[in-house]
Chains A and B, each alone.
Chain A
Amino acid sequence: MFAYHLRLALLSLRRTPAVSLLMIVAIALGIGVSMTMVSVYTLMANDPIPEKSDVLYAVQLDSWSPDRPYDEPNEPPTQLTWRDALALAERSPAGLKRTAMAGTGFVAEVPGAGDVRPEIVSARAATADFFDLFQVPFLYGSGWDHGSDQDAARIIVLSRALNEKLFGGEDSVGRDVRIGSEFFRVVGVLDEWQPTPRFYDLNTGAFADTDDAFVPLSLLDRHQQDWGINGSVNCWQAPSAEGIFPSECTFTQFWVELPDEAAVQDYRAFLDAYVQEQKKLGRFQRPLNNRLSNVHEWLDVNEVVRDDNSVLLGLSFMFLMVCLLNTVGLLLAKFLGRSGDVGVRRALGASRARVFQQHLTEVGLLGVLGGVLGLALAWLGLMGVQRLYVDYERVAHLNTELVAIAIGLAVAAGLLAGLYPAWRICRIQPATYLKTQ
């Protein structure tokens, strides 16, 4: 019977092309606008590391000015000073995976490969646990061990994209990359890895690309002058002539894996003890205000999904509702306009349920067509978002899941809009229309 109802639905669309097109466009507009917002919102609100987002914690210590908070009302800095990050990396309880890191950059080239252009590399200096902590996948080789951290070994891990550029995608483990006048041995090549949002360092944009290369953090200490910091540096007092590394400026991030609530409490106590110790040295003059935020909390703290995005999402669904209400009106007019035909069908043996199914099938078809057109509009909308906001390039796109959601939403919306008109038409008294048709 479904095939029969579908055929009748197609006939009906052909009979009233203008009204049908209006309904399809109404649904498509609602779906297009809401899916544009949903696709941006869902990717913004995406859990970038679902297996560990509850156990990975970003650390904040309030080393800011005694005169004012870092941010109102009493927020500590979102990054740590270099010395605090190193201290936490070194003194955190044994057995806890943790990583201190900072963004940096340099120009890398392959020695002896004249046909390969030097590449400007956005790099991350981090301690050894970085890869294990964030479940970074490797195509070739691996990360490095704690010994390499301590020795400031000249080693490097390349992203897949950089390995493509420098080595044509070959297994480059064991080969050298020249940075300045020094050679760095490739120990690993990452597979595709693009956590979205890029939760581990939100300072250069929540939706920025992952880094091109990774080196031990201890190397950054040695290359303060030539590599520098690639990211956000925040200072509440001017650094001394020795530069920002020994200063109270914040530019490093610190993450730790805490498997349960007891571990969280213990680590909080450890942080408090560390800050109390630093207070005795004249630092940390603000009241104790350490923070531990898991990945979800961290994304909230950094307002990755801003309130205006939520408002826009709500508005887009309200717009969808308006489109659906228009569709309800058009459907009512269309369905009731064919009361005579329905009266005949009822007289010939169609039950109310059959009439209801017939009309819902038509509405479902309108929903599918509206969904397909809506997807095209959503795609256009996302192109517009990409043009307007460069930062949103990564989140402003459709994927298979969103396409399925759009079609599902369109059909569901269409059916919802069609429930009342279909119910109305199946309740008509056939005798009323048979004589007058």
Chain B
Amino acid sequence: MLKMKGVSKVYRTDMVQTSALRDFDLVVDEGEFVAVTGPSGSGKTTFLNIAGLLEAFDAGTYELDGGDVSRLGDDARSRIRNEKIGFIFQGFNLIADLNVFDNVDVPLRYRGFKAAERERRIRESLELVGLASRVRHLPSQLSGGQQQRVAIARALAGSPRFLLADEPTGNLDSVMARQVMELLEEINGRGTTIIMVTHDPELARRAHRNVHMLDGQVTDFTEFEAAVRVREVRAAAAGA
């Protein structure tokens, strides 16, 4: 489903050259919940940006949903981001001028849905995150946890195949972090593949698989019980 092979990314300035990813390999299967951990500067965010087609890379190949997306143009990358990928950021990244409804509406506008379809999707995704009653609120009128849930609703409204989350609980207290994590698990339970960058080992442990990065490479690879169970269930279903 997501397959990176030999991916390298170098940031260059006049004076300095920094390798953010070095010969990076990773395969994420459909329905997986993968946590990416590692110290600051290990390349986690670069990996997530490349996975989300927000940045180009210098070498290697990247297949997403069965297609090679390594060398796509801006329009095609934007379309894939819009249709297949949902983003959740540490800082929520809601648009301050827009109310909850309009924030969730943003990706749907670029998708070209009719008004009725957009409204249905917005209502459904806000229902899912428990904020259906706050559609007219501005982000500044919501708590951090609520803002992150709006961001999750926005990411889900377009029914993406992938959810890329960059430290989604990094700005939240422990209670709200737990609520958001439970929500992500619920979303993953419905079949959406999630890749989550986190510093928090507790959260990482709740994923199916933990990919540890150091100096732009995968150094450790832990498969948790949940992932094993998922594979077993799928294998059984396939055999039946």
Instruction: Please list the residues of chain A having a beta carbon within 8 angstroms of any beta carbon in chain B.
Output: 1, 4, 11-12, 14-15, 340-341, 343-354, 429-431, 434-435, 437
Contact = CB atoms under 8 A, between A and B. Distances in A.
B55 interface: yes
B95 interface: yes
A328 B118 CA distance: 36
B166 to A, nearest CB: 7
A15 B87 contact: no
Given A340-B93, A348-B106, A348-B107, A429 B45 contact: no
Nearest to B48: A431
Interface in B7-66: 45, 49, 52, 54-55
Contacts of B45: 431, 435
B107 A11 contact: no
Given A11-B97, A353-B75, A437-B93, 9 more contacts: A349-B111, A349-B158, A350-B82, A351-B74, A352-B74, A354-B78, A434-B89, A435-B166, A437-B89
A349 B81 contact: yes
B146 interface: no
Contact of A350 (B89, B94, B110, B166): B110
B160 to A, nearest CB: 10
B49 A431 contact: yes
B229 interface: no
B137 to A, nearest CB: 16
B79 interface: yes
A349 B78 contact: yes
Nearest to B53: A347
B89 A346 contact: no
Interface string B66-85: 00000000110011011100
14 contacts: A11-B97, A11-B98, A345-B95, A346-B54, A348-B107, A349-B81, A349-B82, A349-B110, A351-B79, A431-B54, A434-B54, A434-B87, A434-B89, A434-B93
Contacts of A344: 93-95, 106
Q: Give the secondary structure class of A's interface.
A: helix
B93 A345 contact: no
A437 B171 CA distance: 13
Nearest 5 interchain pairs by C-beta: A349-B82, A351-B78, A348-B107, A349-B110, A431-B49
A343 B94 CA distance: 11
Nearest to A352: B74
B95 A350 contact: no
A113 to B, nearest CB: 71
A11 B138 CA distance: 13
B109 A429 contact: no
Contacts of B110: 345, 348-351, 354
B86 to A, nearest CB: 9
Nearest to A11: B97
Contacts of B96: 341
Contacts of B109: 1, 4
B91 interface: yes
Contacts of A12: 97
B188 interface: no
Interface residues of B, number: 30
B90 A435 contact: yes
Interface string B90-119: 110111111000000011011100000000
A347 B87 contact: yes
A437 B92 CA distance: 9
A351 B79 CA distance: 8
A340 B89 CA distance: 12
Contact of A431 (B55, B111, B154): B55
Contacts of B94: 344
A429 B93 contact: no
A349 B79 contact: yes
Contacts of A15: 97
A159 to B, nearest CB: 61
Nearest to B106: A348
A349 B83 contact: yes
A4 B79 CA distance: 19
A284 to B, nearest CB: 78
Contacts of A434: 49, 54, 87, 89, 93, 166
Contacts of A350: 78, 82, 110
B186 to A, nearest CB: 22
A345 B54 contact: no
A353 B166 CA distance: 27
A347 B111 CA distance: 13
Contacts of B90: 435
Contacts of A435: 45, 89-91, 166
A330 B73 CA distance: 31
A340 B52 CA distance: 17
A14 B98 CA distance: 12
B55 A347 contact: no
Nearest to B92: A437
Nearest to B52: A347
A422 to B, nearest CB: 15
Nearest to B55: A431
A345 B55 CA distance: 15
Contacts of B75: 351, 353
A435 B44 CA distance: 12
B162 to A, nearest CB: 13
B82 A437 contact: no
Contacts of B158: 349
A347 B110 CA distance: 11
Nearest to A344: B93
